[in-house]
Structure 1
Amino acid sequence: MEVVLPGGVDDPATPSGGNVYDRRLCERLDVRETAIPGSWPRPDARARGELAAALAGFPDGAVVLLDGLVACGVPEIVVPEAARLRLAVLVHLALADETGLEPALAAELDAKEREVLRAASAVIATGTAAARRLESHHGLREVHVVAPGVDPAPFARGTDGVSRLLCVASVTPRKGHDLLIEALASLADLPWHCVCVGPLRDTAHTQRVRELIARHGLGDRVELVGPLTGEPLGDAYAEADLFVLSSRAETYGMVVTEALARGIPVLASAVPDALGDGGVLVRPGALTSELRRWLTDSAHRDDLRAKAKRRRAELSTWDESAREMAEVLASLRA
C-alpha cells in the first residue's frame, strides 16, 4: 500500500500532531512512503509536479492513503487519478479551519477540499466531531474515524500540585496563545508559571504573543521554549500540574491525550473527542474563571486529577489505531 505524506514529517524542528499521527501509523502498517516537500496546501510548481508524478507512478487499482494537507488543495492533480486508484484521504484539519485565512482564500480552499473528498474512495478523520462536520459540510455519505493512540507514559510527578502550567502547541493563531496570555494576565495576583512548548515561527502572530507577554509584565512567568521532542518533551509533561490548551479550532488534539496518559488534569477548548470526561472543556477565550478555580480550589483540583486518572485508563493505543486504519484501507481492496 502507498502512503503520500508532506515533506518534513520527521523534522524535529516542526513537530505537530499530524506528523506524529502519520509516523506512528506508518510504523505499524505495511506501507511504502512517499514524502513530498512543499508549502502545502498551496504548493509551488515543483511540489505539484512531484505529486503528479508520484500518483501517476502507482499501478491501476492501488490503494493510496494521502495526507489531506497534500491532497485537498490540488483537486486538479488528485481527482483525475481517483478513477484508476483507490484513494483514501486522511483529514487532520479541514483546510478552511486554519485561523487567520482571508475569507476569499478560505472559501477557495474549502471548495478544493470538497472536490477532492467527494472523489475519494474513503475519507478518514481523527475524531468523531470532525468526521460528522466533514459529512455535513461537504455532503459526504460516510467519513471513517481513526482516532490517535497514545504512547505509554508514567504518571507526571508535577511540582507543587498547583502552579506549573503546560501548553504544548505551535505558536499559530489557531492555537490561541494570545487568548491564554490574556487569561493569565488577569490572574497575576495568583502563583503560577506557564511553559509553552511548540514551534516559534517568525510570524506577526508570534511577535504579537511576545508583545502581549511583555505588555502584561509576564516575561518571568511565561516561557516560550520552542519545540521539544523525546526526553525533553517528556520532562516538560512530567513537571506539569495542569495542562492548558486554548485552541480556537482542533480536529482532535493529541497533546491532550498525551497529557492525560500521564494523569495530568486538563483545561482546554475545542477538543471534545480527545478530552472526553477527563477534564474541563471551555469555549475558546473563556479560560480565566476556570484557571482561577484551579488555582484557588483544592477540592476542584482533586476532582480534575480523578477525572484525568479515569480517562487515562480509557485511552487507546497506537496499535489499536493502526488496526482500525488497516480495516478501512482493506475495505477498499474488496
Structure 2
Amino acid sequence: MSHRAAAFAIPGDITTLTGGYIYERKLLEGLRAIGHDVAHLELGSSFPDPTPEHMADAIAQLEEVAPDRPVIVDGLVFGSIDTGGLARCRAPIVAMIHHPLALESGLGAEEADRLFRCERDNLALTSHVLVPSPHTREILVQSYGADPSRITIARPGVARPQGPPERVTPPLILSVGIQHPRKGHDVLLRALGKLRDLDWQAIVVGKVHDDAYAVELEALLGELKLGDRVRFAGRVPQEEIGALYRQAALFALATRYEGYGIVFDEALVHGLPIVSCATGAVPDTVPQGSGILVPVDDPDAFAGALRKMLEDEGLRAGCAEEAAAAGAQRPDWTETARIASEVLGVL
C-alpha cells in the first residue's frame, strides 16, 4: 500500500520531555514506521513567541514544501505564526493543536486576544486539524468556529509498563509535569503542607520551563518546610520515569488546564489512583472511579483528596483497579499514527 509523503513542522528540540513533544515525536516515528516519507522541518525554538529570525525561517520552510506534500504544523507554531506568512504555504496544512495557545495560564487579556485572533485566522487556512481529545475539538468548534468535519481526534498512544509494580515505603506520591504555572505544582505543595501528620514522600518530575515559577516553587518548598519529603527531580530519562510510576502509590497533578494530558494515561496503565483537577480534558481522560478530581486552585480540596487516598486503603485499591482496567483500553502509538495516516491520505 502506498502512503502519501508529508512534512512535519516542529519547533525546537524534538526530544523535549513534555506531553506535546512526546506526542509529536511518536507520531513522526509512527508515520514513518507505517511507510510515510515524512520530512521533519526543524523550526526555531522561540515559538510561540518567535523572534523575527525564527518567524521568517518558519515561513520560508513552509513555503518550500511541495504542493502535493501535506504539512503537519505543531500548535506552538500554528497558533503564533503570521497569518499572511502561513498563507504563502502551497501545501495542504494540517494543524496539530494540543490546546489553543490563547488558553495558556498567566496570559494578559491583550496577549490572549492576540493569540485567539491569530489561531482563529490561521484555522481558516487549514485543510484539516488533528487534536488529542474531544475537549479540544469542542473548543475549536464552539469558540473558534472551526468546521467539525475537518477535525479528527487522534488520541495519544501510551507505552505499557516495563515491569510489575515496585511500591515503596513510605507511599510515593508522583507528579509529572514541567515547572510551569499551568501545572499547578504550587497548589500541590500547599496541599502537601496540610498532610504533615501522614506518612508519605513525593517526587515532582519535569524540567524548568518558567524560571520565575521555579524560583517560586523552591521558596514555597522552604516556607512549608517540605524539603525533607518532596523532591523536584527536574528532567529525567524516560526509563527512570517508568521506574517511578512503578514505585508510586498514587499520581497527583494539580493542573490548571490540560488539552489532554499524556501523563494521566501513563498513570492509568500503571494502575495508579489519580488526584487531579476537573479542568479542560481531564474529566474525559481520567475515568470515573479511577481517582478524585477537585476544583482548580483549591489546596484544601486537593489536600482532602490526597488524604482520602492515603488513609483509605479500600478506596485506593478500588481506584487502582479501575485505573488499570481503563489503562488496558488505551491505544498504542501505532493506532495514533494510523488515524493521522488516514487524514493525510484524503487531503
Q: Is the TM value for this pair above 0.5?
A: yes
In structure 2, how many angstroms separate the alpha carbons of the residues matched to 1:121 and 1:319?
23
Cα deviation digits, residues 23-63 of structure 1 (max 9, x gap): 11111112111111231112112111211111121122431
Task: Return closer, same or farther for 1:259/1:78 CA change in 2, 3 Å cut-off.
Answer: farther
SS of match in other structure, 2:124: helix
State the alpha-carbon separation in 1 of the partners of residues 346 and 293 from structure 2. Answer: 35
Matched, 1:273 2:275: no
Q: Tell me the distance in 2 between the aligned counterparts of 1:201 and 1:55.
A: 27
> Residue 90 of structure 1 aligns to which amino acid in structure 2?
M
Name the residue aligned to 2:345. 330
Match of 1:35 in 2: 42
Deviation, structure 1 residue 301: 1.1
What is the Cα deviation at residue 98 of structure 1? 1.3
Change (3 A) 1:202 1:328: closer
Tell whether 2:131 aligns with 1:125. Answer: yes
Query: Which residue does the alignment assign to 1:141?
Result: 147
What's the counterpart of residue 79 of structure 2? Answer: 72
Match of residue 9, structure 2, among 4, 8, 23: 4
For the structure 1 residues 305 and 202, does the alpha-carbon distance in structure 2 shift closer, same or farther, using more than 3 Å as the test? Answer: closer
Q: Is 1:15 aligned to residue 24 of structure 2?
A: no
Q: Distance in 1 between matches of 2:264 and 2:246?
A: 14
How far off is 1:77 after superposition?
Answer: 4.6
Give the CA deviation at 1:282: 2.4
Partner SS, residue 18 of structure 1: helix
Which has the larger displacement, 273-282 or 17-26? 273-282
The answer to whether 1:220 aligns with 2:228 is yes
How is 1:47-126 mapped onto 2 (pairs within 5 angstroms)? Answer: 47-81=54-88, 84-126=90-132
Counterpart of 2:294?
282
Say if 2:238 is the partner of 1:234: no
Letter in 1 for 2:100: A
Aligned equivalents of 1:65, 1:201: Cα separation in 2: 25
Whole-angstrom distance in 1 between the partners of 2:27 and 2:44: 20
Counterpart Cα distance in 1 of 2:283 and 2:112: 24
Kept in 2, the 8 Å contact 1:71–1:78? The answer is no
1:283 partner letter:
P
Quick one: which amino acid aligns to residue 54 of structure 1? Q
User: More displaced, 109-118 or 198-207?
Assistant: 198-207
1:250-329 pair list within 5 angstroms: 250-269=258-277, 270=279, 271-277=282-288, 278-284=290-296, 285=298, 286-329=301-344
Cα distance, 1:78 vs. partner? 4.6
Q: What is the one-letter code of the residue matched to 1:187?
A: L
Query: CA offsets per residue over residues 274-331 of structure 1, 9 Å max, x none?
Result: 2223322222233121111011111111111111121121111100111011112212
| CA shift in 2, pair 1:202/1:331, >3 Å | closer
User: Residue 166 of structure 1 contacts residue 237 of structure 1 at CA under 8 Å; is this kept in 2?
Assistant: yes
Say which SS state the counterpart of residue 187 (structure 1) adopts: coil
CA contact (8 A) 1:126 1:145 kept: yes
Amino acid in structure 1 at the alignment position of 2:185: H
Contact conserved, 1:75 with 1:113, CA < 8 A, in 2?
no
Q: 1:45 aligns with which of 46, 49, 52?
A: 52
- 1:242-253, aligned counterparts within 5 Å? 242-253=250-261
Amino acid at match of 1:183: A
One-letter amino acid matched to 2:83: E
For the residue of structure 1 that corresponds to 2:166, the secondary structure is: coil
* Matching of residue 152 in structure 1 with residue 160 in structure 2: yes
Q: Secondary structure of 2:87's partner?
A: helix
**Equivalent of residue 204 in structure 2, options 186, 191, 196:** 196
- What is the SS of the residue equivalent to 2:228? coil
**247-256 vs 30-39, greater mean Cα deviation:** 30-39
Change (3 A) 1:281 1:331: farther
Confirm or deny that 1:209 pairs with 2:209.
no
How many residue pairs get aligned? The number is: 327
TM-score, normalization by structure 1: 0.94
User: Does structure 2 conserve the Cα–Cα contact (< 8 Å) formed by 1:152 and 1:261?
Assistant: yes
Given that residues 195 and 223 in structure 1 are in contact (C-alpha distance below 8 angstroms), is that contact kept between their aligned partners in structure 2? yes
- RMSD of aligned alpha carbons: 1.5
Check the 8 A contact 2:62/2:86 in 1, yes or no: no
Per-residue CA deviations over 1:60-112 (Å, capped at 9, x if unaligned) read 24311111111211133554135x32100000121012111121111111111
